[in-house]
Amino acid sequence: MTDLSVDTLFDAVVRIQLLERSITVSFAADHSVRIKFPITRRLAEFLGIPHYLVLRNVALMEKEDLVTKAEREGIITTRKGSRKMMDLMQEKYQRESKRILGEAIFAELYKRTR
Amino acid sequence: MRQADGNEFAVPASLFRLFRAHGCKNSDVMKNVYKIANTIHMCENFMTVLSIDTLFDAAVRIQLLERTITVAFADNTIRMKFPTTRRLAEFLDVPHYYVLPYFAMMEQEELVTRAERVGILTTAKGSRKMIELMREKYPGESNEILGTAVFKEILKKT
Protein backbone atom coordinates (compact mmCIF):
# COMPACT_ATOMS: atom_id res chain seq x y z
CA MET A 1 0.00 0.00 0.00
CA THR A 2 1.32 3.47 -0.87
CA ASP A 3 2.44 5.50 2.12
CA LEU A 4 0.17 8.49 1.82
CA SER A 5 1.06 12.06 2.69
CA VAL A 6 -0.18 15.45 1.56
CA ASP A 7 2.85 15.73 -0.75
CA THR A 8 2.14 12.34 -2.31
CA LEU A 9 -1.45 13.35 -2.91
CA PHE A 10 -0.48 16.67 -4.52
CA ASP A 11 2.05 14.88 -6.69
CA ALA A 12 -0.63 12.38 -7.76
CA VAL A 13 -3.00 15.22 -8.60
CA VAL A 14 -0.44 16.85 -10.89
CA ARG A 15 0.44 13.53 -12.51
CA ILE A 16 -3.23 12.71 -13.18
CA GLN A 17 -3.70 16.13 -14.80
CA LEU A 18 -0.64 15.64 -16.96
CA LEU A 19 -1.68 12.12 -17.84
CA GLU A 20 -5.17 13.25 -18.81
CA ARG A 21 -3.65 16.29 -20.53
CA SER A 22 -6.08 18.70 -18.92
CA ILE A 23 -5.66 21.28 -16.17
CA THR A 24 -8.75 23.13 -14.97
CA VAL A 25 -8.24 26.56 -13.45
CA SER A 26 -10.72 29.01 -11.95
CA PHE A 27 -9.77 32.67 -12.24
CA ALA A 28 -11.24 35.12 -9.74
CA ALA A 29 -11.47 38.89 -9.72
CA ASP A 30 -9.32 39.11 -6.57
CA HIS A 31 -6.45 37.89 -8.75
CA SER A 32 -6.47 34.45 -7.17
CA VAL A 33 -6.48 31.17 -9.08
CA ARG A 34 -7.84 27.83 -7.97
CA ILE A 35 -6.91 24.52 -9.50
CA LYS A 36 -9.37 21.66 -9.72
CA PHE A 37 -8.51 18.34 -8.08
CA PRO A 38 -9.52 15.04 -9.66
CA ILE A 39 -12.33 13.24 -7.81
CA THR A 40 -11.23 11.27 -4.75
CA ARG A 41 -12.12 7.92 -6.36
CA ARG A 42 -9.81 8.71 -9.28
CA LEU A 43 -7.01 9.53 -6.85
CA ALA A 44 -7.56 6.28 -4.96
CA GLU A 45 -7.56 4.32 -8.20
CA PHE A 46 -4.41 6.10 -9.44
CA LEU A 47 -2.52 5.47 -6.19
CA GLY A 48 -3.87 1.94 -5.78
CA ILE A 49 -5.13 2.61 -2.26
CA PRO A 50 -8.55 2.40 -0.56
CA HIS A 51 -10.86 5.35 -1.09
CA TYR A 52 -11.22 6.06 2.64
CA LEU A 53 -7.49 6.76 2.90
CA VAL A 54 -7.76 9.46 0.28
CA LEU A 55 -10.80 10.94 2.02
CA ARG A 56 -8.89 11.08 5.30
CA ASN A 57 -6.00 12.91 3.66
CA VAL A 58 -8.28 15.31 1.80
CA ALA A 59 -9.85 16.17 5.17
CA LEU A 60 -6.34 16.81 6.46
CA MET A 61 -5.61 19.07 3.50
CA GLU A 62 -8.82 20.96 4.16
CA LYS A 63 -7.68 21.48 7.75
CA GLU A 64 -4.32 22.73 6.49
CA ASP A 65 -6.17 25.17 4.22
CA LEU A 66 -4.76 23.66 1.03
CA VAL A 67 -8.09 22.69 -0.54
CA THR A 68 -11.78 23.39 -0.21
CA LYS A 69 -14.78 21.37 -1.26
CA ALA A 70 -17.55 23.14 -3.12
CA GLU A 71 -20.91 21.68 -3.99
CA ARG A 72 -21.10 20.59 -7.64
CA GLU A 73 -17.56 21.90 -8.11
CA GLY A 74 -15.61 19.17 -6.35
CA ILE A 75 -12.28 19.77 -4.65
CA ILE A 76 -10.37 22.92 -5.53
CA THR A 77 -7.17 24.38 -4.18
CA THR A 78 -7.09 27.43 -1.92
CA ARG A 79 -4.53 30.21 -2.45
CA LYS A 80 -2.03 28.22 -0.40
CA GLY A 81 -2.86 25.00 -2.27
CA SER A 82 -2.55 26.69 -5.69
CA ARG A 83 0.88 27.96 -4.74
CA LYS A 84 1.93 24.49 -3.62
CA MET A 85 0.68 22.98 -6.85
CA MET A 86 2.35 25.58 -9.07
CA ASP A 87 5.61 25.09 -7.13
CA LEU A 88 5.39 21.38 -7.78
CA MET A 89 4.72 21.94 -11.47
CA GLN A 90 7.61 24.40 -11.69
CA GLU A 91 10.06 22.11 -9.89
CA LYS A 92 9.14 18.65 -11.16
CA TYR A 93 6.87 18.85 -14.19
CA GLN A 94 7.64 22.16 -15.85
CA ARG A 95 7.99 20.93 -19.41
CA GLU A 96 4.80 18.79 -19.37
CA SER A 97 2.78 21.48 -17.59
CA LYS A 98 3.88 24.16 -20.05
CA ARG A 99 2.89 21.91 -22.94
CA ILE A 100 -0.68 21.80 -21.61
CA LEU A 101 -1.05 25.36 -20.30
CA GLY A 102 1.22 27.14 -22.72
CA GLU A 103 4.23 29.26 -21.71
CA ALA A 104 2.26 32.48 -21.13
CA ILE A 105 -0.51 30.94 -19.01
CA PHE A 106 2.00 28.92 -16.98
CA ALA A 107 4.04 32.07 -16.26
CA GLU A 108 0.90 34.00 -15.34
CA LEU A 109 -0.40 31.28 -13.01
CA TYR A 110 2.99 31.03 -11.34
CA LYS A 111 3.05 34.79 -10.89
CA ARG A 112 -0.48 34.94 -9.54
CA THR A 113 0.19 32.28 -6.92
CA ARG A 114 3.15 34.14 -5.38
CA MET B 1 -60.03 43.89 -25.95
CA ARG B 2 -56.51 45.35 -25.91
CA GLN B 3 -53.77 42.80 -25.15
CA ALA B 4 -50.57 43.49 -23.23
CA ASP B 5 -48.63 43.79 -26.50
CA GLY B 6 -51.06 46.45 -27.78
CA ASN B 7 -52.89 44.23 -30.29
CA GLU B 8 -56.67 44.15 -30.28
CA PHE B 9 -58.78 41.02 -30.32
CA ALA B 10 -62.53 40.44 -30.17
CA VAL B 11 -63.92 38.34 -27.36
CA PRO B 12 -66.34 35.88 -29.01
CA ALA B 13 -70.02 36.45 -28.11
CA SER B 14 -70.36 32.71 -27.50
CA LEU B 15 -67.96 33.07 -24.55
CA PHE B 16 -70.22 35.68 -22.92
CA ARG B 17 -73.24 33.42 -23.51
CA LEU B 18 -71.41 30.44 -21.99
CA PHE B 19 -70.39 32.34 -18.86
CA ARG B 20 -73.85 33.94 -18.49
CA ALA B 21 -75.41 30.47 -18.67
CA HIS B 22 -73.34 29.63 -15.60
CA GLY B 23 -74.55 32.74 -13.75
CA CYS B 24 -71.52 34.99 -14.45
CA LYS B 25 -71.74 38.71 -15.16
CA ASN B 26 -70.12 40.26 -18.26
CA SER B 27 -67.48 41.90 -16.04
CA ASP B 28 -66.50 38.45 -14.64
CA VAL B 29 -66.10 37.17 -18.18
CA MET B 30 -63.83 40.08 -19.11
CA LYS B 31 -61.79 39.69 -15.93
CA ASN B 32 -61.12 36.03 -16.72
CA VAL B 33 -60.44 36.70 -20.39
CA TYR B 34 -57.85 39.30 -19.37
CA LYS B 35 -56.21 36.79 -17.04
CA ILE B 36 -56.06 34.15 -19.78
CA ALA B 37 -54.75 36.62 -22.37
CA ASN B 38 -52.03 37.79 -19.99
CA THR B 39 -50.97 34.23 -19.22
CA ILE B 40 -50.76 33.42 -22.94
CA HIS B 41 -48.79 36.59 -23.51
CA MET B 42 -46.35 35.72 -20.70
CA CYS B 43 -45.90 32.24 -22.15
CA GLU B 44 -45.22 33.70 -25.59
CA ASN B 45 -42.58 35.94 -24.02
CA PHE B 46 -40.96 32.87 -22.47
CA MET B 47 -40.87 31.18 -25.84
CA THR B 48 -39.14 34.06 -27.58
CA VAL B 49 -36.66 34.94 -24.84
CA LEU B 50 -34.59 31.76 -24.89
CA SER B 51 -32.14 30.87 -27.60
CA ILE B 52 -28.63 29.46 -27.73
CA ASP B 53 -27.28 33.03 -27.85
CA THR B 54 -29.31 33.98 -24.78
CA LEU B 55 -27.97 30.99 -22.88
CA PHE B 56 -24.37 31.80 -23.82
CA ASP B 57 -24.92 35.39 -22.78
CA ALA B 58 -26.44 34.26 -19.48
CA ALA B 59 -23.53 31.85 -18.92
CA VAL B 60 -21.05 34.70 -19.34
CA ARG B 61 -23.07 37.07 -17.16
CA ILE B 62 -23.32 34.47 -14.36
CA GLN B 63 -19.55 34.01 -14.41
CA LEU B 64 -18.96 37.76 -14.32
CA LEU B 65 -21.53 38.16 -11.56
CA GLU B 66 -19.90 35.41 -9.50
CA ARG B 67 -16.51 36.91 -10.37
CA THR B 68 -15.09 33.53 -11.37
CA ILE B 69 -14.24 32.13 -14.80
CA THR B 70 -13.23 28.48 -14.97
CA VAL B 71 -11.10 27.31 -17.87
CA ALA B 72 -9.89 23.79 -18.64
CA PHE B 73 -6.58 23.88 -20.50
CA ALA B 74 -5.58 20.99 -22.72
CA ASP B 75 -2.91 20.74 -25.41
CA ASN B 76 -3.60 23.80 -27.55
CA THR B 77 -7.30 23.93 -26.73
CA ILE B 78 -9.33 25.45 -23.99
CA ARG B 79 -12.75 24.57 -22.63
CA MET B 80 -14.83 26.90 -20.55
CA LYS B 81 -17.10 25.80 -17.77
CA PHE B 82 -20.81 26.46 -18.13
CA PRO B 83 -22.97 27.10 -15.07
CA THR B 84 -25.35 24.25 -14.17
CA THR B 85 -28.68 24.10 -16.00
CA ARG B 86 -30.47 24.83 -12.72
CA ARG B 87 -28.36 27.94 -12.14
CA LEU B 88 -29.10 29.15 -15.68
CA ALA B 89 -32.84 28.54 -15.23
CA GLU B 90 -32.77 30.42 -11.94
CA PHE B 91 -30.80 33.29 -13.47
CA LEU B 92 -33.11 33.59 -16.48
CA ASP B 93 -36.17 33.08 -14.28
CA VAL B 94 -37.57 30.27 -16.41
CA PRO B 95 -38.54 26.72 -15.42
CA HIS B 96 -35.63 24.25 -15.40
CA TYR B 97 -37.28 21.95 -17.95
CA TYR B 98 -37.38 24.88 -20.34
CA VAL B 99 -33.58 25.23 -20.40
CA LEU B 100 -32.85 21.53 -21.01
CA PRO B 101 -33.87 21.27 -24.70
CA TYR B 102 -31.50 24.14 -25.53
CA PHE B 103 -28.63 22.16 -24.06
CA ALA B 104 -29.54 19.22 -26.26
CA MET B 105 -29.46 21.65 -29.21
CA MET B 106 -26.11 23.07 -28.11
CA GLU B 107 -24.71 19.56 -27.82
CA GLN B 108 -25.99 18.75 -31.28
CA GLU B 109 -24.36 21.90 -32.65
CA GLU B 110 -21.14 20.85 -30.93
CA LEU B 111 -20.97 23.94 -28.75
CA VAL B 112 -20.90 22.11 -25.41
CA THR B 113 -20.28 18.66 -24.00
CA ARG B 114 -21.61 17.17 -20.82
CA ALA B 115 -19.65 14.76 -18.66
CA GLU B 116 -20.61 13.14 -15.42
CA ARG B 117 -18.97 14.76 -12.38
CA VAL B 118 -17.36 17.33 -14.68
CA GLY B 119 -20.42 19.29 -15.73
CA ILE B 120 -20.94 21.23 -18.92
CA LEU B 121 -17.88 22.42 -20.81
CA THR B 122 -17.66 24.25 -24.10
CA THR B 123 -16.10 22.55 -27.10
CA ALA B 124 -13.47 24.37 -29.20
CA LYS B 125 -16.34 25.93 -31.19
CA GLY B 126 -18.23 26.83 -28.02
CA SER B 127 -15.13 28.34 -26.41
CA ARG B 128 -14.67 30.55 -29.46
CA LYS B 129 -18.29 31.69 -29.20
CA MET B 130 -17.99 32.40 -25.47
CA ILE B 131 -14.70 34.24 -25.64
CA GLU B 132 -15.94 36.30 -28.62
CA LEU B 133 -18.97 37.29 -26.57
CA MET B 134 -16.68 38.30 -23.70
CA ARG B 135 -14.49 40.31 -26.04
CA GLU B 136 -17.41 42.09 -27.75
CA LYS B 137 -19.83 42.70 -24.89
CA TYR B 138 -17.94 42.35 -21.62
CA PRO B 139 -14.23 43.09 -22.24
CA GLY B 140 -13.72 45.18 -19.09
CA GLU B 141 -15.27 42.71 -16.66
CA SER B 142 -13.65 39.69 -18.33
CA ASN B 143 -10.26 41.37 -18.28
CA GLU B 144 -10.70 42.16 -14.62
CA ILE B 145 -11.30 38.51 -13.72
CA LEU B 146 -8.93 36.75 -16.11
CA GLY B 147 -6.21 39.37 -16.16
CA THR B 148 -4.95 40.95 -19.37
CA ALA B 149 -2.29 38.33 -20.09
CA VAL B 150 -4.63 35.35 -19.63
CA PHE B 151 -7.48 36.99 -21.54
CA LYS B 152 -5.15 37.78 -24.44
CA GLU B 153 -3.73 34.26 -24.42
CA ILE B 154 -7.18 32.67 -24.33
CA LEU B 155 -8.29 34.87 -27.22
CA LYS B 156 -5.24 33.71 -29.14
CA LYS B 157 -5.92 30.05 -28.35
CA THR B 158 -9.52 30.20 -29.53
Cβ distance of A24 and B71 shorter than 8 Å: yes
Q: Is B111 on the interface with A (CB under 8 A)?
A: no
Cα B89 to Cα A57: distance, rounded to the nearest angstrom:
36
Q: Is A42 on the interface with B (CB under 8 A)?
A: no
Query: CA-based Rg of chain B, rounded to a whole angstrom?
Result: 23
Q: Is residue B59 within 8 Å of residue B15, measured between CB atoms?
A: no
Q: Is residue A31 within 8 Å of residue A78, measured between CB atoms?
A: no
Q: Which of B63, B67, B69, B70 is the best substitution to test chain A (most A C-beta atoms within 10 A)?
A: B70
Cβ distance of B74 and A21 shorter than 8 Å: yes
| Residues A58-81: tens digit of each pLDDT | 999 999 999 999 877 789 999 999
Q: Is residue A21 within 8 Å of residue A100, measured between CB atoms?
A: yes
ipTM of the complex model: 0.88
Q: Is A52 on the interface with B (CB under 8 A)?
A: no
| Residues B26-38: tens digit of each pLDDT | 777 777 766 766 6
DSSP letter (8 states) at residue B3: -
| Residues B34-76: tens digit of each pLDDT | 676 666 556 555 554 689 999 999 999 999 999 999 999 998 7
Q: Which residue has the higher pLDDT, B28 or A98?
A: A98
Nearest CB neighbour to A23, from listed B73, B81, B146: B73
Q: Where are the domains of chain A?
A: 6-112
* Nearest-by-CA chain A residue for B85: A72
Q: CATH 3.40.50.300: does it fit domain A6-112? A: no
| Residues A27-64: tens digit of each pLDDT | 998 889 999 999 999 999 999 999 999 999 999 999 99
Mean pLDDT throughout B113-136?
90
